Chains A and B, each alone.
Chain A
Amino acid sequence: MIKKDKMKIVSTRCIAKDTIEMVLENQFISGIAVPGQFLHIQVGKHILRRPISIADCNKELNQITILFKINGVGTDELANYQQGEYLDVLGPLGNGFTTDGESKSTVLLIGGGIGVPPLYYLGKTLKENGINIVTILGFQQKDNVFYEQQFQELGETFIVTDNGSYGHKGFVTDVIDQVGRFDCYYSCGPIPMLKALTAKLKGKKGFISLEERMGCGIGACFACVLPTKDGTSYKKICKDGPVFQAEEVTL
């Protein structure tokens, strides 16, 4: 069930360089949102909505948290919305992460940059199910880092920056060997990172969340498609995804 509705901005703040955390309120959308889903947000009079993943969801308070990076005219305008204003939102959209893993198993969360947010709601949900969480978060540099403490509350957390200005230097794939045994991985981040990661963890059970420029966000316009492994057909990122099994699609 998808709803087009107003969401009230409960709070908005800058949590890292060009990175905004916004808490939105809507009973229906927060009530059914699952980790990995996204909101399609109308910003001003822009022709296309902006797809932004759900970073957290509080079903008691009817709140959803989104995190986004200012990366163009749409997100720049969205960053200027104030507490108390309303956003026109279509959501929750897409198929989220599978969270029915076995209790006591260990999962590895690997996030890159603005791909980090959906992993937080996922990690919280998995932890509530008794699953052990280990997280690797990659950022460009120190002033881009966010949610380190939040992830540490879920379990052991490694921070990696490209230039080594914070945490480990290098890429998320460089520290995977240090994390020990895990049963399954979940990842979201830039395509080059996901390519390197799925290659390194070939054969391992994993799920990846993808982003792409979208039109309708509901599967009708065929803008955000991705070839399947066998090359004979496509998956729609907005409707069939954004979460896919790592082996299911070609990056």
Chain B
Amino acid sequence: MTNLAIELPGLSLKNPIMPASGCFGFGREYSDFYDLGKLGAVIMKAATATGRIGNPTPRVAETASGMLNAIGLQNPGVYKIMETEVSFLSQFDTKIIANIAGSTLEEYEEVAHAFNETEHVHALELNISCPNVKEGGIQFGTDPSMAARVTEAVKKASNLPVYVKLSPNVTDIVSMAKAVEAAGADGLSMINTITGMQIHLPSRKPLIANRTGGLSGPAIKPVAIRMIYEVSQQVNIPIIGMGGIQNAEDVLEFLLAGASAVAIGTANFQNPFICSEIIDELPNILEKYGFHSVQEAIGKGIVS
């Protein structure tokens, strides 16, 4: 019997599979397809202090082996999310991770503090890497000292374990990871999307109204694997890995690179059942490659 369970700060996961923030809304739509209680956890769409209406459309564009998006953190605000979405998700036997975003240090603190009021949220994912809004946190996500500051502030404001979501749009990912670890991060979540652009030939204009968007999907998987591989050897906190996962083999690859759990993003759009199907398939893939548990596979791809 393959053991899929994994213990992370604040999160006793029955399996390492969770939908990635922004790709699953607040779970409602996907709950029509399968029991969300099957998931290790759900990472909710980003919450800001007050509601945001997001960017103009088009907001998505397909690319070779990936997609660009610039949604712009559209969300109803943390208080409404607490009232309607957290209470909805809490009916399922799964862990809830709240992704928090902001444009100022104070906004991050406010959102983090607000989630102290519910017992149903088990951890925070600190979004300092949204590339799609002018002050959506990316400035916190590309400078190690700024990243450390916001991590420290959120840790102080919150009672929950904090997983800092790192941006790949940096030269030195290890220094970012080390900076937030030193500032008290309980874990890392990586990677967010890579900034990209696509130009539409007939109109000669960027296809996405925001001009740039975040690239996700299988196109970015090798970048995610490389960054997790580098970071996992340099920090002592667990990593939730993400970036283009499409199947259970991809999950194992992330574990081998040093991730302790994974999030599935873009693949949910093509196949709403993908997380559920990967959970079913993972034991077979672990067995196939000689592992009896998820725990056993973590970091086993690192060449000394």
Contact = CB atoms under 8 A, between A and B. Distances in A.
Contacts of A137: none
Contacts of A226: 57
A222 B45 CA distance: 10
A222 B270 contact: no
B189 to A, nearest CB: 19
B29 interface: yes
A204 B217 CA distance: 45
B193 to A, nearest CB: 13
B57 A215 contact: no
B30 A220 contact: yes
Contact of A224 (B28, B57, B63, B273): B57
Interface in A192-226: 212-226
Interface string B5-22: 000000000000000001
Interface string B252-293: 000000000000001011111100000000000000000000
B269 A48 contact: yes
B301 interface: no
Given A47-B65, A47-B217, A223 B60 contact: yes
B53 A233 contact: yes
Contacts of B217: 47
Contacts of A221: 22-23, 25, 60, 69, 71, 269
Given A227-B53, A234-B53, A4 B59 contact: no
A214 B61 CA distance: 8
B270 A220 contact: no
Nearest to B73: A222
Interface in B83-122: none
A4 B273 contact: yes
Contacts of A233: 53
Contact of B272 (A47, A74, A218): A218
Contacts of A219: 25, 28-29
Contacts of A46: 62
B270 A42 contact: yes
Given A4-B271, A47-B270, A220 B67 contact: no
Given A223-B57, A239-B29, A215 B67 contact: yes
A240 B206 CA distance: 27
Nearest to B266: A47
A49 B269 CA distance: 8
Contact of A213 (B24, B33, B60, B65): B60
Interface in A157-216: 212-216
Interface string B187-219: 000000000000000000000000000000110
Contacts, number: 93
A49 B66 CA distance: 12
B57 A216 contact: no
A192 B149 CA distance: 48
Contacts of B32: 1-2, 218
B65 to A, nearest CB: 7
Interface in B25-58: 25, 28-30, 32-33, 45, 53-54, 57-58
A5 B62 CA distance: 23
Contact of A220 (B57, B58, B66, B268): B268
A122 B268 CA distance: 31
Nearest to B22: A221
A29 interface: no
B166 to A, nearest CB: 22
B247 interface: no
Contacts of A218: 29-30, 32, 272
Given A47-B266, A222-B71, A213 B29 contact: no
Contacts of A48: 60, 62, 67, 269-270
B62 A74 contact: yes
B60 A49 contact: no
Contacts of B62: 46-48, 74
Contacts of A145: none
B59 A223 contact: yes
Nearest to A1: B32
B59 A222 contact: yes
Given A217-B269, A218-B30, A220-B23, 10 more contacts: A47-B65, A48-B269, A213-B59, A218-B32, A220-B25, A220-B29, A220-B268, A222-B74, A224-B57, A234-B54
Interface of A: 1-2, 4, 42, 46-49, 74, 90, 212-227, 233-234, 239
* A-B complex: 4 closest residue pairs judged by Cβ atoms: A220-B25, A223-B60, A220-B29, A213-B58
13 contacts: A4-B271, A46-B62, A48-B269, A212-B57, A220-B29, A222-B59, A222-B71, A223-B57, A223-B59, A223-B71, A224-B57, A224-B59, A225-B59
